[in-house]
């Protein structure tokens, strides 16, 4: 299993490193620079609001199905038809709920229109993820890897034509951004369905209430977890817009989104580990195999990478923000400088949240595979309450920066408790040597960053590349990245 994990991790990382940066920096960033912080903040808040109810589209079915198919591949044909029908019904229910609660929350006119389109896109994305859960559950990681980037490749082409050319002769707006996502998701669903049907055979949707009830009942613990996590992961822009009145709320949500874009990119890469690890952990637990080595391997790779990125980002946050964004029409130099300064502080805070999130994707996935849902749900509930309370306390005084601190506190608390629960349930001994290596990396890299910033007269981009390279060299030197170990895994016959 370690060999399968390493080989497919390399493939999925390669594809995502090829595609996601183009999307983030070439397309998504261009969109925000074209429409402006207030307009993009408007979209971000509504998108985050729709995401709060995302669980109604899924009810934990995707995670349940991934784990179930990994352990019982023969159920694919039976479950695909029934769950496919159920997903459509959940989509209708979700649409009704988000429009109702959006209206009660105060959305009107254009806000409700965008919410409906974004909600439809969420349904399409949910269906894609469900189809992929069948593919990854069958351990067909190569196919899943290509599907994981297909929607972004399509969006890069569609949105790229709209924002970088004048071929269609339209004035780009957030609406066109949303429509482009819809088209890309529909094409991806068609290709994903074809891939799944090659394994399951011809199917048709059918009405089976008893089957729906069984699946929902088995998925409910996963659903509660997803609900709680979606709230404490995505509620920040919603609270910013609600607690700060008028256009300033949209503006602050936009400033938060400027920095959050990079955290979101990091989360997407960390999520790839979870996608691979859930079926692998599930099968290993079912077969009674030790998970110690693969837990240590995935932890050393993901947490080391997130630490290097977080520390480096904290030293060059203002430079990164200045590179990514430019003054808007009628924005004075002083206003632009203030916006960049605020988003730089938020970036520094959020990228340390990325370290905690990376840990959660490993240990939370292990607990999910082990069906330790009660523990996970209690941790998620605590994190949500903590996140909301800190947001309510800090947003009125510190605005978007306060929300960033709320995210860091909630994510870090969740990571610490999840690690403790894993050690207790699996009776694993704390790896103090690994912890010492992490601390060594932090101290050496932070010291190097301080020296570069204060004693070397280098262009900031060269300095940042030097820090990232030094982080990798340090990691290899103290064997956080164990090349010999990876090579031995790849040469082994064990899959």
- Please determine, for residue 46, whether its predicted confidence score (pLDDT) is greater than 80: yes
Token pair recorded at residue 21? 């940066």
| Among 240, 190, 274, 475, CA closest to 342 | 240
Distances 247 to 115, 136, 173, 240 between C-alpha atoms, Å: 18, 44, 18, 11
Q: What is the pLDDT of residue 53?
A: 82
Q: Cβ atoms within 10 A of the Cβ of 73, count?
A: 13
56: pLDDT strictly greater than 50: yes
189 or 286, higher pLDDT = 189
What pLDDT score does 490 carry? 47
* pLDDT (mean) for 161-165: 84
Q: Identify how many contiguous H helices and E strands the chain contains and give both numbers.
A: 19, 0
Reported as a single tens digit per residue, the pLDDT across 107-131 is: 888 889 999 999 999 999 988 888 8
The Cα–Cα gap between 330 and 307 comes to: 38
For residue 327, what are its two tokens? 């003054």
**What is the rounded average pLDDT of the residues 403-411?**
93
Tell me the angle at which helices 209-243 and 61-71 cross, rounded to the nearest 10 degrees: 130
**Separation of alpha carbons 272 and 223, rounded Å:** 20
Is 90 exceeded by the pLDDT of residue 235? no
In the predicted model, is pLDDT for residue 397 greater than 70?
yes
d(CA 459, CA 123): 45
| Average of per-residue pLDDT across 464-468 | 92
User: 195 burial class (0-12, 13-18, 19+ CB within 10 angstroms)?
Assistant: middle
**Nearest Cα to 129, choosing from 75, 55, 237, 74?**
55
Q: What does the pLDDT average to over 175-179?
A: 91
pLDDT band at 24 (very low <50, low <70, confident <90, very high): confident
Helix (H, G, I), strand (E, B) or coil at 45: helix
Distance CA 489, CA 495 (A): 9
Lowest-pLDDT range of 6-20, 161-175, 312-326, 398-412: 6-20
Q: What is the pLDDT of residue 188?
A: 93
Residue partners of 464: CB distance under 8 A and separation at least 6: 312, 315, 316, 319, 320
Most confident segment among 167-171, 326-330, 425-429:
425-429
State the pLDDT at residue 99: 92
User: Does the pLDDT value for residue 322 go beyond 60?
Assistant: yes
What is d(CA 410, CA 232) in angstroms, rounded to the nearest whole number? 8
**Percent with pLDDT over 70 in the chain:** 84
Amino acid 6: pLDDT: 60
Cα–Cα distance list, 275 to 24, 150, 271, 280, 439 (Å): 21, 16, 6, 9, 28
Count Cβ atoms within 10 A of the Cβ of residue 462 and give its class: 0-12 exposed, 13-18 middle, 19 or more buried. Answer: exposed
Q: Regarding predicted confidence, which is higher, 489 or 398?
A: 398
CB 492 within 8 A of CB 315: no
Q: Are residues 440 and 478 in contact, defined by beta-carbon separation less than 8 angstroms?
A: yes
Q: How far apart are CA 280 and CA 67, in angstroms?
A: 9
Mean pLDDT of the chain: 82
> Which has the minimum average pLDDT: 94-98, 132-136, 331-335, 484-488?
484-488
CA distances, 59 to each of 55, 89, 224, 338 (Å): 5, 12, 8, 42
Q: How many other CB atoms sit within 10 Å of the CB of residue 96? A: 11
Give the pair of three-digit tokens for residue 32: 């925000």
Query: What is the reported pLDDT for 9?
Result: 65
CB 38 within 8 A of CB 175: no
- Output the six-digit token pair for 355: 């370290």
Indicate whether 33 pLDDT > 90: no
Distance CA 347, CA 231 (A): 20
Mean pLDDT on 60-89: 68
Q: For 458, how many CA atoms within 13 A lie in the half-sphere containing its CB?
A: 16
What pLDDT is stored for residue 83 in this prediction? 75
What beta strand segments (E) does 43-195 contain?
Answer: none
Question: Which pLDDT value is given to residue 328?
Answer: 76
- With a cut of 70, say whether residue 492 has pLDDT above it: no
pLDDT above 80: residue 486 = no
Confidence at residue 65, expressed as pLDDT on a 0 to 100 scale: 65
pLDDT digits over 274-305, tens only?
Answer: 777 877 788 788 888 888 888 888 888 889 99
Above 60 in pLDDT, residue 485? no
**Dist. CA 260–CA 29, nearest whole Å:** 12
Tell me the C-alpha distance between 429 and 489, whole Å.
23
pTM for this structure?
0.70
């Amino acid at each position: 299993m370690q060999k399968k994990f390493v080989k497919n991790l390399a493939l999925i990382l390669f594809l995502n490193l090829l595609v996601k940066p183009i999307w983030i920096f070439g397309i998504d960033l261009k969109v925000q620079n074209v429409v402006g912080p207030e307009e993009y903040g408007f979209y971000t808040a509504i998108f985050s609001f729709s995401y709060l109810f995302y669980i109604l589209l899924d009810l934990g079915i995707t995670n349940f199905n991934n784990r179930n198919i990994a352990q019982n591949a023969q159920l694919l044909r039976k479950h695909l038809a029934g769950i496919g029908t159920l997903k459509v019904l959940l989509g209708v229910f979700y649409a009704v709920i988000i429009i109702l609660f959006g209206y009660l929350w105060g959305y009107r006119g254009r806000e409700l229109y965008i919410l409906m389109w974004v909600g439809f896109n969420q349904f399409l994305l949910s269906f894609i993820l469900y189809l992929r859960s069948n593919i990854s559950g069958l351990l067909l990681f190569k196919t899943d890897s290509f599907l994981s980037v297909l929607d972004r490749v399509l969006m890069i082409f569609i949105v790229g034509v709209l924002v970088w050319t004048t071929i269609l002769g339209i004035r780009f707006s957030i609406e066109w951004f949303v429509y482009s996502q819809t088209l890309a998701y529909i094409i991806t669903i068609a290709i994903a369905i074809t891939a799944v049907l090659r394994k399951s055979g011809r199917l048709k949707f059918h009405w089976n209430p008893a089957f729906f009830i069984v699946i929902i009942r088995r998925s409910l613990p996963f659903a509660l977890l997803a609900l709680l996590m979606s709230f404490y992961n995505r509620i920040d822009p919603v609270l910013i817009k609600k607690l700060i009145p008028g256009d300033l709320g949209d503006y602050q949500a936009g400033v938060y989104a400027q920095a959050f874009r990079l955290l979101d990119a990091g989360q997407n890469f960390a999520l790839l580990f979870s996608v691979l690890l859930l079926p692998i952990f599930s099968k290993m637990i079912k077969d009674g195999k030790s998970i110690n080595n693969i837990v240590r391997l995935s932890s050393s790779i993901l947490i080391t990478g997130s630490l290097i990125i977080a520390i480096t980002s904290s030293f060059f946050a203002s430079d990164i923000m200045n590179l990514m964004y430019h003054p808007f029409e009628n924005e004075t130099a002083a206003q632009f400088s203030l916006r960049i300064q605020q988003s730089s502080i938020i970036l520094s805070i959020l990228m340390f949240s990325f370290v905690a999130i990376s840990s959660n994707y490993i240990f939370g996935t292990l607990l999910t595979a082990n069906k330790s849902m009660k523990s996970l749900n209690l941790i998620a509930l605590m994190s949500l309450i903590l996140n909301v309370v800190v947001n309510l306390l800090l947003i009125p005084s510190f605005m978007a920066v306060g929300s960033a601190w709320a995210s860091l506190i909630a994510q870090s608390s969740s990571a610490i408790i999840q690690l403790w629960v894993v050690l207790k349930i699996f009776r694993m001994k704390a790896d103090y040597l690994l912890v010492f290596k992490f601390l060594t990396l932090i101290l050496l890299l932070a010291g190097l960053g301080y020296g570069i910033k204060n004693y070397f007269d280098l262009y900031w981009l060269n300095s940042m590349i030097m820090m990232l390279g030094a982080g990798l060299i340090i990691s290899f030197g103290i064997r956080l990245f164990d090349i010999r170990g990876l090579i031995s895994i790849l040469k082994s016959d064990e899959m």
